[in-house]
Chains A and B, each alone.
Chain A
């Protein structure tokens, strides 16, 4: 795929108009969310730029830093951008390939005991650097984003075994390609961001991963919800190895909001989630883990950000939302609060009729 093909692919996703003046447009349309963003920063962003996930033992991740930088760009918050970027480069940019180490632990020595990366964190981080470079006039950030994108394209896009030459984004560089197959995490595939990066850095393989990822999600939707983890083997798709969740849980719950943020609200997988959430209801807490085989609700949570995910999925239906999107609050851990903010961004940009209540 050459550059033109990449651009055509991006256009098909409806992503191109968002590229050039993205920062300005997003900044204006998201103005009403600034109080929520400020509350989010006050709750989870430390003065040194570290985003703390208290529910995970006070850890920080390339994902949380990437999410934070992504939000800083959307809200045109140069100070938050500078803080997050500085801390991340100082503490997670420890790999020789330019990718970020996936986790920083406050009580461990060293703080980064595992140098593996997490490709979703890299994608969010790189996209925010790319946009921040133009928005804040920081050309250095574009170069840094380019290094990450090139590394992702080179190291995290192995061919899917026995699957017509498909390329899917692998979760990380080390350990996911096993002798028996490759382990994938569908919630690491953020179509819009990957597409924008593919165009900006002329990486057709990354765009290919977007297209193939959407196709794979469509196939999965025929059978059920997306699993947290799965494995592609020469014999087909199977459950991920033991220790990796095959249920639709805290990982895969991000799939519908990523699709909505990518202009893919009509994707069959979003419809799957909508049906599942509406059938389960929210009265006893929001479903957070569905059984990978039966679809039975295995776990519910009182954290309101998860209800926002359900509300957004419900909003995509033609007959109007059966589940409402809740008002934002920081009376919840970092992860559901962040997803809650993502939902509100998606709602403002694509679903004005589903105003939070």
Chain B
């Protein structure tokens, strides 16, 4: 009988196979679904009143199998929960995502030290009140070009040398166990000094070939999870570590928590971490990633009482800062995360005053690699602008080693442009007399700038390994000075709506998805914003399409077209337009048809176009055929906010991080419309934004203002001068005509 039922059921259900194609997830009662046809006996319960349970006859047969079924994981090894206390770099300006001579991060968490001599200062934070470990690990690997017998790393802990090891891990990461005798509870300084010798060649290329990579997260010490104190200090160290690894700060925010709370908490955390930090705001019910978290933030809705901050260890091992909203949250946050000293920007250069490199925070620069780089970053006021042909003055105190190879040179650059080339192959072995270098001031701009040095010392010969040197190759003293003249307050675009001033509390998004809005609020709160009144309106397509402000620089149809263009497949073959963009620097250039540009007429037309419209093409011309995943638009009226429109394909955290990077870049200056493309770059309009006077100017600065405008659009102003010249001749012509007329009479 059982078998008969089985056959009937299988036959019945077999007929339901096509039903699997019907897909109505989360559907309701109106969803058309089909279920297996079951025998009457299975779907028609007896209509009799409740039957008294029958008492089955006792069975003395075998015990039910189910009793022997065990879910025990007795074979599973429960390992003690531990914390890896990795190393981190103290200097937060180490370049990320690119390889440079010296220290750089080719990828998050992997620190590469390139060149024959390189050094870096690291930090190892150990739990307070715990006995320091007897040793710690340094996980590293070196290039195969390193000659192990002549390549080594010297490790110092808290300025006490801990030992020297050969750099012999060329086949993969290996571990050096460093004695921890000098370690102490709290923050320890670990200095690495590397000497790397190329096994075959010598010269600038060989300098790049010798390197050692330190795996920072895997280095350090492993301690029992319980040893990590649940304190704000441990949390700060943990956050700093994950930011250096390139991981996002995981923030869990349930419904009902105020966005003001989110902004306040992230603002407090942001004051303690670098600007590269990124966050991910999600519901506490979103699954956690497989890799889990090391630190996290959990926001909780308050019950009307006082705010509370506590540090917990999640069952997954993460150190979680739990914040319960309530009264006094700001004070509580200020006590938990004391604000960093609001020091003057150490890299700020005061225009009109001779400033030493030391005042700019630059150390003594000593280089001993055949290719060497060094940078002296500094910042000018945001409203500093000089586009004219004036000169700035660099007074260079430097020296170089005796008997450097013929052809050795030093390039001195301002923002990447070479301002002088100095030979290093004559009269070396001493500090040279101060060298005064005048360079075009229009190489500098408001905000961050860099004076950099690039030394190239050929091998002698290049096909043999380098001889050992007992003197330094290059030294740039930090007594060198820089003098930049002041300018009238000018900027590309009006400053009162500057993107950099938008903080988390300035984000508006009445209808957008909570995760989208919260991620932006959190991310912008994490960054340090400048003074200003700008606001940011978020919108997501398609749901917010009809709510977009009609006063935006782009109308709704144009915005829709930008997103639709991205969705269409690329034309193939003959239909494909011959447009190219070979690198990011070309982004600002209008998409040009090479065929059209050929010919004198087209060139003349372009030239005339630039003459009458120095900012470049109009927005409606520029936007043609462009596509994007997000569009940023400046306000067109004083009461309007900036508007950022995105579609739902771009993850909120990706867009938020991209936006914060963009607004900090030079490209954001003066932009009125910016397109965030699918490849992560931003295209901005206008391509050459017009300068604006953004503050009161003195009478004697008028010529500088005019000079800036004239330098910005020389053709345009030449045309104006020409017109004025022509106009100025008119009275003379009139006078001549009138006087000749009188004479004729």
Contact = CB atoms under 8 A, between A and B. Distances in A.
Interface stretch (A7-15, A173-181, A211-219, A267-275): A173-181
B26 interface: yes
B290 interface: yes
A96 B2 contact: yes
A226 interface: no
Q: What is the predominant secondary structure among interface residues of chain B facing chain A? A: loop
A303 B288 CA distance: 14
Interface in B606-624: none
Given A154-B54, A158-B56, A178-B58, A243 B316 contact: no
Interface in A76-92: 76-83, 85-86, 89-90
Contacts of B298: 355, 357
Interface string A181-215: 00100000000000000000111110000000000
Nearest to A112: B6
Interface stretch (B59-67, B473-481, B660-668, B726-734): B59-67
A89 B57 CA distance: 28
Contact of A140 (B2, B22, B43): B43
A79 B23 contact: yes
B181 interface: no
Contacts of A202: 49-50
Contacts of B25: 77-80
Nearest to B253: A355
B33 A136 contact: yes
A285 interface: yes
A343 B285 CA distance: 11
Interface size class of B (residues with CB under 8 A): 35 or more
B81 A36 contact: no
Given A115-B2, A116-B66, A249-B72, A327 B19 contact: no
A47 B33 CA distance: 16
A317 interface: no
A157 interface: yes
B29 A329 contact: no
Nearest to A172: B64
A276 B565 CA distance: 62
B73 A301 contact: yes
Interface string B293-322: 000101011000000000010111010101
Interface stretch (B34-42, B331-339, B374-382, B490-498): B34-42
B53 A205 contact: yes
A302 B5 CA distance: 43
Contacts of B33: 78-79, 81-82, 136, 138
B610 to A, nearest CB: 53
Contact of B60 (A75, A179, A243, A245): A179
A114 B65 contact: yes
Contacts of A123: none
B79 A94 contact: no
Contacts of B560: none
A278 B100 CA distance: 53
Contact of B50 (A39, A115, A204): A204
A82 B19 contact: yes
Contacts of B9: 89-90, 93-94
Contacts of A79: 22-27, 33
A243 B43 contact: no
A356 interface: yes
Contacts of A323: 315
A175 B10 contact: no
A50 interface: no
Contact of B287 (A36, A245, A289): A36
B285 A284 contact: no
Contacts of A348: 285
Contact of A250 (B6, B41, B71, B225): B71
A68 to B, nearest CB: 15
B286 A175 contact: no
A102 B66 contact: yes
A156 B286 CA distance: 39
B320 to A, nearest CB: 5
B261 to A, nearest CB: 14
A327 B288 contact: yes
B316 A326 contact: yes
A137 to B, nearest CB: 4
A324 B78 contact: no
B80 interface: yes
Contact of A201 (B14, B35, B45, B79): B45
A323 B287 CA distance: 19
Nearest to B316: A326
Contacts of A335: 71
Given A56-B71, A284-B78, A177 B50 contact: no
A279 B510 CA distance: 47
B19 A177 contact: no
B16 interface: yes
A256 B9 CA distance: 37
B74 interface: yes
A136 B29 contact: yes
B550 interface: no
B50 A283 contact: no
A250 B13 contact: no
B51 interface: yes
B304 to A, nearest CB: 13
B316 A327 contact: yes
Contacts of A136: 27-29, 31, 33
Most interface-central of B55, B72, B79, B292 (chain A CB within 10 A): B72
Contacts of B318: 357
Interface in A248-267: 249-251
Contacts of A203: 50
A355 B314 contact: no
A98 interface: yes
B637 interface: no
A224 interface: no
A328 B67 contact: no
A159 B56 CA distance: 10
Given A48-B20, A82-B35, A147-B43, A174 B64 contact: yes
A74 interface: no
Contact of B26 (A77, A89, A93, A245): A77
A65 interface: no
Contact of B315 (A36, A103, A286): A286
Contacts of A296: none
A52 B129 CA distance: 48
Contacts of A327: 252, 284, 286-288, 314, 316
A316 to B, nearest CB: 17
A99 B25 CA distance: 28
Contacts of B52: 205
A115 B16 CA distance: 24
A153 B51 contact: yes
B42 A93 contact: yes
B564 interface: no
A146 B22 CA distance: 27
B70 A179 contact: no
B78 A311 contact: no
B76 interface: yes
A356 to B, nearest CB: 5
Most interface-central of B53, B60, B316, B320 (chain A CB within 10 A): B53
29 contacts: A35-B285, A39-B287, A75-B26, A78-B28, A79-B22, A86-B16, A86-B36, A89-B38, A98-B41, A174-B64, A177-B58, A178-B58, A205-B53, A244-B63, A284-B81, A288-B73, A304-B316, A311-B315, A324-B312, A326-B288, A327-B287, A328-B285, A328-B286, A328-B288, A329-B288, A344-B285, A348-B285, A356-B285, A357-B298
Given A79-B25, A147-B42, A327-B287, 18 more contacts: A32-B254, A32-B255, A33-B285, A36-B286, A76-B28, A78-B25, A81-B33, A86-B20, A89-B36, A155-B53, A155-B56, A171-B66, A174-B59, A202-B50, A245-B70, A302-B78, A329-B287, A355-B254
Which 9 pairs of residues, A with B, have the shortest CB-CB distance?
A146-B45, A90-B13, A285-B78, A307-B315, A143-B43, A250-B71, A175-B64, A157-B53, A326-B315
